A = this chain, B = another copy of it.
Amino acid sequence: MLVLLVEDDAALAAQLIDFLQHENIEVDYAASVSSAKEIAAQTIKYSRYDAAILDMDLPDGNGISLISEQILGQGVPVLFCTAATALEDKLAAFSAGALDYITKPFDLPELAVRLKLLAKKQGAHAENTFELDSLLIDFNTQIAKRGERILVLSPQQWLLLSLLTKHAPNPVSKEDILCKVWPDQDVNNNMYKSLLTRLRKNISRDSERELLHTIKGQGLVLRKHSE
């Protein structure tokens, strides 16, 4: 079992790594948001994490951004482990997609148990695929197909598509999309429109049913029928 640990307190991290290894859990370690991105980018090419342990307060940002920018890839369960005890911090983490939240100080065995629970559920439960009409997405292999045709998606398109699948069949607001696909960047509406056209072209070709519908003023949805 392979886990990503992002934690700026080196002493705590060392302790954690040591403990987890005794539990037969391999750990990739990063001390900051930026290094986490690098490590994850390399690792994800070859395998995927079974879970991630994130800290909230990091020297160069907030752990939440690692989720919202989808650095970890689809379906990697996230456990926040942080000193922040405020309710709003917890809610922010959960709404970003965290699956558990534990506050410092904590007992190592509890963390390990919760971690295993997350990873187990992930492995047992989710084959980590999404299916709609003849569209099939496998998040493990990062392959998307429409029928037998394999879709070649750019990074942006992949990001948007996985964001939509996560919420389907519920819509995602344009604002959400903008700040997830282009985090801390200048965005304009044209960039959004371009991306959308490109993704549509890839997903539906010829007479294939359109699956990507915009609800005016509301957002984007992935579903069979426009409304």
Residue numbers of A with Cβ under 8 A of B are: 87, 90-91, 94-95, 99-100, 107, 109-110, 113-114, 117, 121, 125, 140-143, 150, 152, 154-155, 158, 169-171, 215-218, 221, 223, 225, 227
Contacts and interface: CB of A to CB of B under 8 A. Distances in A.
B155 A216 contact: yes
Contacts of A227: 143, 150, 152
A169 B221 CA distance: 30
Given A125-B121, A150-B227, A158-B218, A170 B140 contact: yes
B121 A216 contact: no
B87 A107 contact: yes
B171 A141 contact: yes
Contacts of A94: 113-114, 117
Nearest to A98: B117
A184 to B, nearest CB: 18
Q: What is the total number of copies of this protein in its complex?
A: 2
Given A99-B117, A117-B94, A121-B121, A218 B110 contact: no
A110 B91 contact: yes
Nearest to A145: B227
Nearest to A99: B117
A142 B171 contact: yes
A107 B150 CA distance: 47
A141 B117 contact: no
A102 to B, nearest CB: 10
Given A140-B170, A171-B142, A155 B218 contact: yes
Nearest to A215: B142
Given A113-B94, A117-B94, A152-B227, A142 B218 contact: yes
